[in-house]
Structure 1
Amino acid sequence: MKKNIVILGTQWGDEGKGKIVDYISSDASYVVRYQGGHNAGHTLVVNEKKIILHLIPSGLLHQNTIGIIANGVVVSPAELIKEIKMLEKNNIFINKRVFISDASPLILQYHIEMDIAREKKLGINALGTTGRGIGPAYEDKIARRALRIGDLKNEKNLSTRLEKIVHYYNHQLVNFYQHKPIDYKIILRDLLPTIDVIHDMIQDTTNILHKAIKDKKKIVFEGAQGSFLDIDHGTYPYVTSSNSTVGGVITGTGVGPKDLDYILGITKAYSTRVGYGPFPTEVFDDKDRHFSNKGHEFGSTTGRKRRTGWLDAVSLCRAVKINSLSSLCITKLDVLDGLDEIKICVAYKNIDTLEIISFPDINEWEKIVPIYKSYPGWTKKTLGAKKMEDLPYEAHHYINSIEEITQTPVDIISTGPERSDIILIKDVFEC
């Protein structure tokens, strides 16, 4: 029996991880966010009601589940409290059910101002960040100047360090970016009320998790973003600032690799990407309209329209390798309903050398074109299907082809936005 399950994205994020975490967490004791910040949005639909979570782990909609925001997550106290209040309005109460690592770095207003100022300065060369301060917060962590959640417990030390950090940021914002200066007293004033709200949530979450492992509790580790937004393994520099591949679980929680039993990779039945960066299988015109409209492909965090394309099996195979995936979950299969033809990118070709290449380096992306294999589409509706026998033959063939190309089994299929729109081929806690 599997006890500790990692759920992560295999593409550029927006794969539908939140729904799958929510579904699997019904049988879990703990759900753990291990990287990213409130730049990630996980959308859940329960009884036709949509709830979007950015920091709170997706499994918290189940009353018996405890949420952990681990040390690998950068936390905006203001956004966290806003999310808690949103849940309370929906009659979901998380008192004594959420714990935050004392080592989680804080996101404060100067991070946001710097993020926005940089993107504005870059102009047409902007990276397409969410403007929520994620990158600058991670920079502070690596530069060893970050304020962390645990620092909120010492107001005097917090005030002294905050003043110094704001001075550091103001020097850049004013002199290089021609931005108005930030008043550290205002940041401190706004920050202090949040401490009372989250004070009792601040814990040594690594210790909590190791005790849970010792007690043989079921744990779900919830990834944010996707594998190719990983700072090390993604399409750099168009990436996020954390490790969204499986290594982020280990560094972001303090749980060792021997305690990870099963790694589930989430992939859409097609591909999407938000913002700039390489996207070999991108489509336009009527196919883009089909994916965008039927798949509701607009960012849950930014509202930006997502770029759409065919499933990229080259990158998917890469994701299988770098994450040691146990199996795949295919989401949004129903979005393919009604297409006459469906394509999978099975290789890349360099347009200069005409060579077939496995995976491009940073300078090759603009020189590659996808090589596709075509599959027949289907007219029968798959939306809401609950069993494999409910799917048309062509959908079976498409899923089997993904398994063959990636050499990885498909254990779960999502056939719609509702929590119950699931085909469970194997129970991931049992297989």
Structure 2
Amino acid sequence: MANVTVIGAQWGDEGKGKLVDWLSNRADVVVRFQGGHNAGHTLVVGDQVYKLSLLPSGVVQGKLSIIGNGVVVDPWHLLKEIGTLGEQGVKITPDLLVLADNACLILPLHRDLDQAREAAATNKIGTTGRGIGPAYEDKVGRRAIRVADLADRAALEAKIDRLLAHHTPLRRGLGLPEYDGAALLAELEEMAPKILPFARPAWLMLDEVVKAGRRVLFEGAQGALLDVDHGTYPYVTSSNTVAGQAAAGSGLGPKGPGYVLGIVKAYTTRVGEGPFPTELKDEVGQHLGTVGREFGTVTGRSRRCGWFDAALVRQSVALNGIAGVALTKLDVLDGLPKLKICTGYELNGEAIGYLPAGLKAQGQLMPVYEEMDGWSETTQGARSWKDLPANAVKYVRRIEELIGAPVSLLSTSPQRDDTILMRDPFQD
């Protein structure tokens, strides 16, 4: 059986949490490979709702869960999330959760810097203010504190000195007080015994489980169009969110990620600033936001809503090597008499079938729409293809044609079991 990599194929918030939770039943190990606690998954299991932003979704299923080296980790938030799940009856132990010992830490000074920059910016990026970007900056600047450093006081002291040599001038420029290195050291030493039991060489464990023939599910955060290289730069996240990062961010070789499943919402949303060609600011956009409950799991911010953009998803299919998609929130479209799908754009009078790299060009795109009839029947809770209205089936089939990838799974509500399986990714 193949391993499976799940990524968002739009701007994130596509419903990855439910699908990863659903697929965890078929996996032995679940791996998070990039991002931080700036993106969340909401899992609905019966009457219980779990909100995760750093822990892999597999922990709820009791599956071995790994936070890979590609993730930047706020250790205090991790401990808080472990505590919250414990209160909900899910006990997180080192036998269940592995934290890569070479993962980099998010520190309070990263959060300070993130928030101060965003407050001072004229053209805001729309970050969550949780320190993810500055932590990645320190990682590539080779001055980050990593999980393994928590076990070495001498290394911690030297690294804090190096870190503050960089951050102190930045803080002065932003009007922030100088950070107390001794206080940071004390905080890290107090937290270390609680975190270190989870720390192990994640790459070695993954190598062993793959050789043993166990199935691995790689869980991405955010979406492909927020990728720091391939997204709507600079309105992107600070990491690579495309499927290729599953290999680098976990320590497994490039063949390891296996089948790539792209999660796609039946319409389009994004949080924060940046271009959005199909955005709707009318009553239809309001309908999508209200019925779809489009509020960020982590931030609570309202999401911008618009028609399904096949050109964007087609681009994601190519960038990620997507073998099949999981289409979510089809039920939000119930009752709309007419539906539109963006098939491409016009840019300065010319037809264009992809999102250009230039920010100016992105802002000038005019969507080209194809209109279809909607349906009055409900699709909510449907669990088989035959339960869908005829026009809903036509809508799904047209999406498949336009994006160049089949719909492998169809989600019809937040509930785990309200899922129509066309192709099992682990069997492909």
Both proteins in one fold, TM over 0.5: yes
Q: Point out the more displaced range, 329-338 or 359-368.
A: 359-368
- SS of corresponding position for 1:259: coil
Query: Mapping of 1:16-415 within 5 angstroms?
Result: 16-63=15-62, 65-95=63-93, 96-123=95-122, 125-174=123-172, 176-350=173-347, 352-362=348-358, 363-415=360-412
The alpha-carbon deviation at position 357 of structure 1 amounts to 4.7
Instruction: Provide the rounded CA distance (Å) in 1 between the counterparts of 2:362 and 2:424.
Output: 38
User: Contact (CA 8 Å) 2:311, 2:344: kept in 1 or not?
Assistant: yes
- SS of corresponding position for 2:381: coil
1:58-94 superposed Cα distances (whole Å, 9 cap, x missing partner)? 111112x100000000000000000000010000012
User: Contact (CA 8 Å) 2:10, 2:225: kept in 1 or not?
Assistant: yes
Q: Which runs of 5+ in 2 are unaligned?
A: none
Instruction: Provide the rounded CA distance (Å) in 2 between the counterparts of 1:208 and 1:385.
Output: 39
The alpha-carbon deviation at position 290 of structure 1 amounts to 0.6
Instruction: Provide the rounded CA distance (Å) in 2 between the counterparts of 1:178 and 1:195.
Output: 30
Instruction: Provide the rounded CA distance (Å) in 1 between the counterparts of 2:354 and 2:201.
Output: 42
The alpha-carbon deviation at position 180 of structure 1 amounts to 2.0
- SS of corresponding position for 1:429: helix
The alpha-carbon deviation at position 255 of structure 1 amounts to 1.3
Q: Which runs of 5+ in 1 are unaligned?
A: none
User: Contact (CA 8 Å) 2:266, 2:328: kept in 1 or not?
Assistant: yes
User: Contact (CA 8 Å) 2:144, 2:159: kept in 1 or not?
Assistant: no
Instruction: Provide the rounded CA distance (Å) in 2 between the counterparts of 1:137 and 1:399.
Output: 40
Instruction: Provide the rounded CA distance (Å) in 2 between the counterparts of 1:354 and 1:72.
Output: 40
1:160-188 superposed Cα distances (whole Å, 9 cap, x missing partner)? 321331242122111x1112222222222
User: Contact (CA 8 Å) 1:137, 1:146: kept in 2 or not?
Assistant: yes
Normalization by structure 2: what TM-score? 0.97
The alpha-carbon deviation at position 355 of structure 1 amounts to 3.7
Instruction: Provide the rounded CA distance (Å) in 2 between the counterparts of 1:9 and 1:153.
Output: 35
409, 413, 417: which one aligns with 1:416 = 413
Aligned length: 426
1:23-56 superposed Cα distances (whole Å, 9 cap, x missing partner)? 0001211100000000010111111322110111
Distance 1:326 1:356, change over 3 A: closer
- SS of corresponding position for 1:31: strand
- SS of corresponding position for 1:240: coil
User: Contact (CA 8 Å) 2:346, 2:367: kept in 1 or not?
Assistant: yes
Q: Give the aligned residue type for 1:405.
A: L
Q: Give the aligned residue type for 2:47.
A: E
User: Contact (CA 8 Å) 2:74, 2:105: kept in 1 or not?
Assistant: yes
User: Contact (CA 8 Å) 1:48, 1:418: kept in 2 or not?
Assistant: no
Normalization by structure 1: what TM-score? 0.97
Which 4+ stretches in 1 moved above 4 angstroms?
none
User: Contact (CA 8 Å) 2:337, 2:374: kept in 1 or not?
Assistant: yes
The alpha-carbon deviation at position 189 of structure 1 amounts to 2.4
